[in-house]
Amino acid sequence: MSPVRRVALTSSAAVAVALGGCASPAEPGGQESTPSGGSSPSEDSSTDTDGPSSRKRHRTRLNSATTAAAQYDYAGALKELKGLTGTDVDALTRKITKQQTNAVTWPDNSQISHLFFHSLIVDADRAFTSQDSAQGYADYMVTIDEFKAVLDSVHEKGYVLVNPRDVARENAQGQMEYVPITLPKGKKPLVISQDDVSYYEYMDGDGFAQSMTLDDDGGVTNTYEDPDGKTVEGSYDMPAVVDDFVEEHPDFSYRGSKGVLALTGYNGVLGYRTSEIEYGDEEDIDLQEQQEQAKGVADELKEDGWVFASHSWGHTNFTKATMTRLTADTQKWDEEVAPILGETDLLIFPFGADIGGTQDYSGPKYDLLEEHGFDFYFGIDTSAPAWGQRTDDYVRQARINVDGLSMSAAMKDDQHVLHDFFDVEEVIDPTRAEHGF
């Protein structure tokens, strides 16, 4: 699992936690979802003996412990407090120890829901009036306001973000096994993912982010061209929006995990035109510079709790493709995308086009994918809130699409699976109706 940089909370939520309040609403059953302590570090004279630098280190470690506990890493939080003294430390230690004692293990890792999205629509007026793509955007995308409303709802319902490597991993014998996920009672693990995080050329000018980039502080943000043609930076797509949400609601992330980003390679990655095959002959594209910029963003995303999945190089239908095409496509991914994103053992099937039914995988297509190191496979199924399968060799998980099509279906059917996660009538953007969708 990629290392996750856990940044100590600096928002008002962190201050509330450190002073004895809550960083987020109480959990079901009255449990608080974040730890609290007694007095603030600056009020504890026992930490003042070595002067301001010692007090600063004390506060930093206290905040790190607070963040770790808020994200359910109780052992890590207590380790952070080890060696510190003071009434604030004692109070926080008691609080975290109680939370650790009361936490429970999720009973069945095959029953973890997975919601997925495509690129977020920033400017619905432009997207829904695109001459060539308006219907596709309405069908397969959600607006940024819809996505934020979904986040609010699943957070309120007690869902917590995990990534697939929190769910399962190889054991010492090389066999896949489920990993215990420990949460307070009433909390539920949830995987989210985003497909096609490559910012395809056809989307230019249609009201979407153009790329991911790094801001002045080294964090991941988006470039976006507003209707006046001005390029600005901000939170205009799923990763940056989720990062902002987790900063405000640290209890929404399990031990720093965020989500899965699925990328193709034929238009490059993350908004950079990195493909030698597609852009090697274009004099106005500096491939090396594009690749280096993309790698810098990818490294930061992994550091911040995101994981990458292959979505194939050419958005290939794995059900219909011949072995010749799959072999060539997989090689292109290995040569052009893996060097930028790093190796991944996650495969998200384009179109949800799986290589088999619910029976165990077998055959040449699976043999090819196993040879290339894939351990996690993701299809699409909206018939149930969650579905998973584990063998000694791999883990499968069904994903639920959140988009215009699924929301429209849910509006017509009160038994639709989306109702487990949010009220569609409250989430859906009125701009859809204004444009006839």
- Stretch 398-420: mean pLDDT: 96
Question: What are the φ and ψ backbone dihedral angles of 194, each rounded to 5 degrees?
Answer: -130, 130
Tokens of 4: 């996750």
Residue 18 is predicted with a pLDDT of 40
Confidence (pTM): 0.88
Residue 50 is predicted with a pLDDT of 59
Residue 55 is predicted with a pLDDT of 86
Q: Could you give the angle at the alpha carbon of 49 between the alpha carbons of 48 and 51, nearest 5°?
A: 65
Burial label, 324 (beta-carbon count in 10 A; 0-12, 13-18, 19+) = exposed
Q: Tokens 């390029």 sit at which residue?
A: 231
Residue 269 is predicted with a pLDDT of 98
- Stretch 277-285: mean pLDDT: 95
Inter-CA distances, 217 with 213, 214, 221, 291, 300, Å: 11, 8, 10, 21, 11
In this predicted model, which residue has the larger pLDDT, 27 or 364? 364
How many Cα neighbours within 13 Å face the side chain of 87? 9
Say yes or no to pLDDT of 221 above 80. yes
Quote the CA–CA distance of 329 and 325 in Å, as a whole number.
6
Averaged pLDDT of the chain:
90
- Stretch 242-271: mean pLDDT: 98
**Amino acid, single-letter form, for residue 300:** E
Quote the CA–CA distance of 127 and 147 in Å, as a whole number.
16
Q: Which of 14-28, 258-272, 302-316 has the lowest mean pLDDT?
A: 14-28
Q: What is the pLDDT of residues 366-383, one digit of tens each?
A: 999 999 999 999 999 999
Q: Tokens 């190796």 sit at which residue?
A: 343
Quote the CA–CA distance of 129 and 228 in Å, as a whole number.
16
Q: What is the pLDDT of residues 64-123, one digit of tens each?
A: 999 999 999 999 999 999 999 999 999 999 999 999 999 999 999 999 999 999 999 999
Q: What is the pLDDT of residues 172-207, one digit of tens each?
A: 999 999 999 999 999 999 999 999 999 999 999 999
Tokens of 199: 């910012």
- Stretch 238-250: mean pLDDT: 98
Quote the CA–CA distance of 257 and 306 in Å, as a whole number.
7
